[in-house]
Structure 1
Amino acid sequence: MKPKGLMVGVAVVTPGLMLGLVVSLLLLLGGSKSAVADCGPGVTLSISEDIKVDGYSPDQLTNAAAIMNAGKALNLSAKGQMISVMVALGESGLHVLDHGDGPAPDSRGLFQQRDNGAWGSYADRMDPTTSATNFIKALQAVEGWELLEPTIAGTKVQRNADPYHYQKYWPEAVKLVQALSDGKFSLEGSGCAIPGQSGAGDDYPWKDSPTWLQVGAGSAAASPLGMFYRECVDFALWRVNQQMGSTGAPFKFLNGTFRPDGQGLGSALTWKAGWDAKGWPTGSVPRIGAVVWYAPGVGGADPAFGHVAVVKEVKDNGTYVEEGYNGNPPPDDHNYYTRTVSSNVPSAFLYLPIQEEKK
């Protein structure tokens, strides 16, 4: 019986499931998808007196709508609209403030823009649409901003002393933009990805460590990343750390600290939600170094937990090579594997943000 924690990411239930279903799927080569992922269009407002969002006043919703409209006018993506709302939440709580703070007493407005000539007149900084337009233009001028974590992208514009100041406002910004938009959308397909790094084969540091099956679901089976040794999730999180420049303790990305909302990254089941909560891009095109996410039951993955792996190589015929752990049936479970997979089999590819921000 599997332990009832969030640290398990088992990929196989029965010997025939992965080998039977997945191998047959691998032979069905779907049409290759565009190599250029779409960062997603912006969303159009649908705000009225009837729209209410818990915890927010009509004035705050009106200000959020002004930010979104300014973004739409500048062809800003939905992710950009959410970043803009996130920054305004972190700077003013979506209030048009007529005062600054100790370090910046001349700051004003939704974005607390300073009186330094870069943000227009006092009237400009106090006007929600004009101040948002000026913020968004500055955001769009940041090279590669779509690939950054939202809080890093916002900091590139605001130059906040703490680059992670805005991180805790991201879930609320997503909620607000979704509530005020004219249709349902998600971060799926935000898709902007950077070239990753191919792993050096089975370089997983804990390949000889005991699995939870061998020692039980106690702390002895947990790796320094907070996942069980030799599970698919532990290998994938190791590869994420490695690509982002964190190759030894203390590791930067852990199961318990990955998400800004305080929830664990968890089993493979919740990894897509973890990427969305963090504001990292996802999409349907394989990229070297991206995490491969299988929803439960997809491609022969575990029907309860799903499966994660990592893209090792992308081929020209609509397939890619994935690498991972615990992707084969016993007796070869909890070991390293590689296999060629049709690009249309996984549920999503989970991309990494720009690596230089994490070194």
Structure 2
Amino acid sequence: MQRKSLGLVALIVLPGILIGAVFSILLLLTPARPAAADCGPTVSVAINGDTKVEGYSQEQLKNAAAILGAGKTLNLPVKGQMISVMVALGESGLRVLDRGDVAGPDSRGLFQQRGNGAWGSYADRMDPTISATNFIKALQMVDGWELLEPTIAGNKVQRNADPYHYQKYWPEAVRLVLALSDGTFSLQGSGCAIPGQSGAGDDYPWKNSPTWVQAGTDPAAASPLGMFYRECVDFALWRVNQQMGSTSAPFKFLNGTFRPDGQKLGSARTWKDGWDAKGWATGNIPRVGAVVWYAPGAGGADPTFGHVAVVKEVKDDGTYVEEGYNGNPSPDDHSYYTRTVSNSVPSAFLYLPTQEEKK
């Protein structure tokens, strides 16, 4: 698809208050806005012989249903049910395999569980419900699994060499759970939140608050995070707080207190400096929930102030879906957007610490 770019709009910066950029970027897909719905603690399964999901056989759907049923029995939040389906997709393609691989020749079943006694008998590992139950019980023993990226949570149980092995299976796991469950829901909520992930959508708390254009540039018009409402920096800092378990005032991460050296987090231009000052990791590989950082002028961002967004989904074709605010031209400049971008376009991805690093 031919790349397109949007026009640029200059920024205004006041002391202690930041204005995110309306910026242009290389687009690969048209923005889409997923519908929001309520999120229950766990979902039930509704499947019969007529149930069909494109790309999956009846055998695979029955195995996915067995995983969801095991999660329901153990009162597992929907995020955990999705993680369980994701891991089974990554391990066996949702098939009960009677074989292992080079790394684990004794691995068997949906979750490729080893024959070391930790996962029960051979019959247990080959039984979809029992093997799923054993996986889920192990997941529930992982401290703080609800706040981890799905692939990291799955890896804590499976202990793969690559902790991001399951990342590409997450969108399909979400699709399958939505298709097989008996109700609608989102991933928003304390027990099943996946900030920045597909399904949460525009849950920014101040989406109806006046922008600096409407309310003026008085510091009193700033959000509780210390940024102007509905700017790229305010949305991204909201996602950071949300992923770190801070979803209401007083928020843990603020513009004025984020950096340990006393400087403000600042405009998008200085966000990587803020990450470096805090000792948080950065890199060039997109991860769900990471902040996308565009240095000034990068990818069509404002040449003075840059832009920030959040990784919503990672694809296996060298692209990712980002979400944010203030990334469209007027009159949609201060509203939520999503778009698919090549991994090579941003200047860096700013990662949040893992559960271990937060302790």
TM-score class normalised by the smaller sequence: 0.5 to 0.7
**Partner amino acid, structure 1, of 2:280:** G
Q: Does 1:45 align with 2:45?
A: yes
Separation in 1, partners of 2:357, 2:271: 20
Change (3 A) 1:151 1:356: same
**1:118-197 aligned within 5 A:** 118-189=118-189, 190-191=192-193, 193-194=244-245, 196-197=252-253
Q: CA deviation at 1:353?
A: 6.3
Q: Where in structure 2 are there 5+ consecutive unaligned residues?
A: 13-17, 20-37, 194-242, 247-251, 315-322, 337-350
TM-score, normalization by structure 1:
0.55
Is the Cα contact below 8 Å between 2:113 and 2:119 reproduced in 1?
A: yes
Separation in 1, partners of 2:264, 2:325: 23
Q: Which residue of 1 aligns with 2:93?
A: 93
SS in 2 for 1:161: coil
Q: Where in structure 1 are there 5+ consecutive unaligned residues?
A: 13-17, 20-37, 208-229, 279-291, 309-350
Change (3 A) 1:296 1:145: same
Change (3 A) 1:46 1:161: same
Separation in 1, partners of 2:182, 2:74: 18
Q: CA deviation at 1:134?
A: 0.1
Q: CA deviation at 1:41?
A: 0.9
Q: Does 1:245 align with 2:287?
A: no
Q: CA deviation at 1:135?
A: 0.1
Is the Cα contact below 8 Å between 1:149 and 1:353 reproduced in 2?
A: no
Separation in 2, partners of 1:269, 1:45: 42
Q: CA deviation at 1:252?
A: 2.2
Q: Does 1:104 align with 2:104?
A: yes
Deviations 1:11-57 (A, max 9, x none): 88xxxxx99xxxxxxxxxxxxxxxxxx99511111222333222111
Separation in 1, partners of 2:270, 2:171: 27
Change (3 A) 1:235 1:306: farther
Is the Cα contact below 8 Å between 1:10 and 1:307 reproduced in 2?
A: no
Q: State the percentage of identical aligned residues.
A: 57
Separation in 1, partners of 2:188, 2:73: 23
Deviations 1:44-94 (A, max 9, x none): 112223332221111111101100110011010110011000100111010
Change (3 A) 1:184 1:302: farther
Q: CA deviation at 1:5?
A: 3.9
Q: Does 1:306 align with 2:334?
A: yes
Separation in 2, partners of 1:352, 1:141: 22
Is the Cα contact below 8 Å between 2:88 and 2:94 reproduced in 1?
A: yes
**Partner amino acid, structure 2, of 1:63:** N
Deviations 1:155-183 (A, max 9, x none): 11011111111111111111111111112
**Partner amino acid, structure 1, of 2:258:** G
Number of aligned pairs? 240
**Partner amino acid, structure 2, of 1:194:** G
Separation in 2, partners of 1:242, 1:355: 20
**Partner amino acid, structure 2, of 1:47:** I
Change (3 A) 1:238 1:111: farther
Change (3 A) 1:124 1:171: same
Separation in 2, partners of 1:9, 1:68: 48
**1:292-331 aligned within 5 A:** 303-306=331-334
Is the Cα contact below 8 Å between 2:293 and 2:307 reproduced in 1?
A: no
Q: CA RMSD in A?
A: 4.3
Q: CA deviation at 1:253?
A: 5.9
Is the Cα contact below 8 Å between 1:39 and 1:146 reproduced in 2?
A: no
Q: CA deviation at 1:102?
A: 1.1
SS in 2 for 1:142: coil
Change (3 A) 1:252 1:95: same
Change (3 A) 1:236 1:6: farther
Q: Which residue of 2 aligns with 1:33?
A: none
Change (3 A) 1:43 1:7: farther
Is the Cα contact below 8 Å between 2:293 and 2:309 reproduced in 1?
A: no
Is the Cα contact below 8 Å between 2:309 and 2:325 reproduced in 1?
A: no
Deviations 1:69-127 (A, max 9, x none): 10011010110011000100111010000000112111000000011111000000000
Separation in 2, partners of 1:84, 1:6: 40
Q: Does 1:199 align with 2:258?
A: yes
Change (3 A) 1:307 1:153: same
Q: CA deviation at 1:194?
A: 3.2
Is the Cα contact below 8 Å between 1:67 and 1:132 reproduced in 2?
A: yes
Is the Cα contact below 8 Å between 1:11 and 1:307 reproduced in 2?
A: no
